[in-house]
Structure 1
């Protein structure tokens, strides 16, 4: 074997071809499954897109590095399903760019977090995690309650998502800033437009507990409350698993 290595390393062209061959095998293993992607990803007719407020919250979640301690992918292992809920389906991340599956769990998996706790719980938890989970090692994010949320670039964020395949309409993009405000202020004139464009099941309320304000806390809590609830596709398989 050492003699073989010595020969191939002295042959520049042969060595280059060997590298290309090995790299091609690895590339084929990664690319081949994409040819059957339509059969792999489950159908979810009820799948909806993130609202501008939820998308803004997702951006804050990424900005603050939350994905470094929380995964968003429940495996098919029994103990994970019993602890977190139905295992994650590929279709549930259909509109996630970038995806946030992760593998690090300093904190619990968040794939089924939506509506598990109240908005007030999330606000208290983000301001000081130890107030609701004494053993928590999570850092504080109290400034989110004070930081006003930027709204003027909401349409640009939706347009960027559409460029990678998320089906935002021209109307959604044009009204993104108004919808951003309306979702967190149910008594405002803009609230009705959110329901019209994103559906009657959309959460419309003052997520930070302060109607009239629009803060980064509103956005992050709105995002956390929709995790695992963009589609009900996982629930039929949960019933099958229980049987």
Structure 2
């Protein structure tokens, strides 16, 4: 069984050619599907981008390592669909750089978390997880309520996202800091401009319960509340399959 392998090991050129052949086959299998990606990724005309506040919350989510315990990819298995909702589609991560699908589930999958709980629930959960889930082993994140959100670099964050294909407009980039503040201050003067740039469906409220002050808690809750709601493609896809 190992005779051929032993012979190759004694011949450097033959071994090198064998490695190249094996790597070429593996590379082809991985790369070839990318040439048909336009046909395999679902269309989502209603797909919206993250607002500056939601994008800042996503960055805090990554900074705190939340992705290490929570996946954002519901597989097509029946028990997962029944527990979490419609299975995830590739297009739903279209504007995620990097994507946060993951596979580790110390905590539940949160791909469809948006709108499932109130803002107050999320704030209490982040301040003291056991206050709302007695058996939770999640650590508390009380400093999010104490830390003011840094907004001076939001222009750069949106510009970077635009560079990798997210369709932020120059106007969105220019007003990133103002829009972040407006989204967490429903009585502020910037709400009209915010919704004009990001759409009437944009969620505008004091996410941490304290209007007038912009905290890291505001941004993280805003991000959690939009998960699974950037597009209705998954719900439409599930409905179409049910009707077949």
TM-score range, shorter chain: over 0.9
Q: Write the distance in 2 (CA, Å) between the matches of 1:112 and 1:149.
A: 25
Q: Which residue of 2 aligns with 1:62?
A: 62
Q: Write the distance in 2 (CA, Å) between the matches of 1:7 and 1:13.
A: 11
TM-score, normalised relative to structure 1: 0.97
Give the deviation of 1:32 after TM superposition: 1.1
Alignment of 1:205-216 (within 5 A): 205-216=205-216
TM-score, normalised relative to structure 2: 0.97
Alignment of 1:182-197 (within 5 A): 182-197=182-197
Uncovered stretches (5+) of structure 2, i.e. residues with no partner: none
Q: Which residue of 2 aligns with 1:2?
A: 2
Q: Which residue of 2 aligns with 1:18?
A: 18
Give the deviation of 1:237 after TM superposition: 2.4
State whether structure 2 residue 71 is matched by structure 1 residue 74.
no
Alignment of 1:197-236 (within 5 A): 197-236=197-236
Alpha carbons of 1:241 and 1:134: their partners in 2 closer, same or farther (altered >3 Å)?
A: farther
Q: Which residue of 2 aligns with 1:112?
A: 112
**Quick check: 182-191 or 47-56, which moved more?**
182-191
**1:74 aligns to what SS in structure 2?**
coil
Alpha carbons of 1:132 and 1:241: their partners in 2 closer, same or farther (altered >3 Å)?
A: farther
Alpha carbons of 1:168 and 1:16: their partners in 2 closer, same or farther (altered >3 Å)?
A: same
**1:109 aligns to what SS in structure 2?**
coil
**Quick check: 111-120 or 183-192, which moved more?**
183-192
Residue deviations 1:74-113 (CA, integer Å, cap 9, x gap): 1111111111111111110000110000111111110110
Give the deviation of 1:240 after TM superposition: 4.0
State whether structure 2 residue 28 is matched by structure 1 residue 35.
no
Q: Write the distance in 2 (CA, Å) between the matches of 1:194 and 1:173.
A: 12
Q: Write the distance in 1 (CA, Å) between the matches of 2:163 and 2:226.
A: 23
Q: Write the distance in 2 (CA, Å) between the matches of 1:224 and 1:3.
A: 57
RMSD of aligned residue pairs (Cα, Å): 1.1
Q: Write the distance in 1 (CA, Å) between the matches of 2:2 and 2:67.
A: 45
Aligned length: 243
Q: Write the distance in 2 (CA, Å) between the matches of 1:125 and 1:59.
A: 19
Q: Write the distance in 1 (CA, Å) between the matches of 2:241 and 2:119.
A: 30
Residue deviations 1:120-155 (CA, integer Å, cap 9, x gap): 000000000000000111000011000110000001
Alignment of 1:125-204 (within 5 A): 125-204=125-204
Q: Write the distance in 1 (CA, Å) between the matches of 2:223 and 2:147.
A: 16
Q: Write the distance in 2 (CA, Å) between the matches of 1:192 and 1:103.
A: 39
Residue deviations 1:142-176 (CA, integer Å, cap 9, x gap): 11000110000001000111111111111111111
Q: Which runs of 4+ in 1 moved over 6 A?
A: none
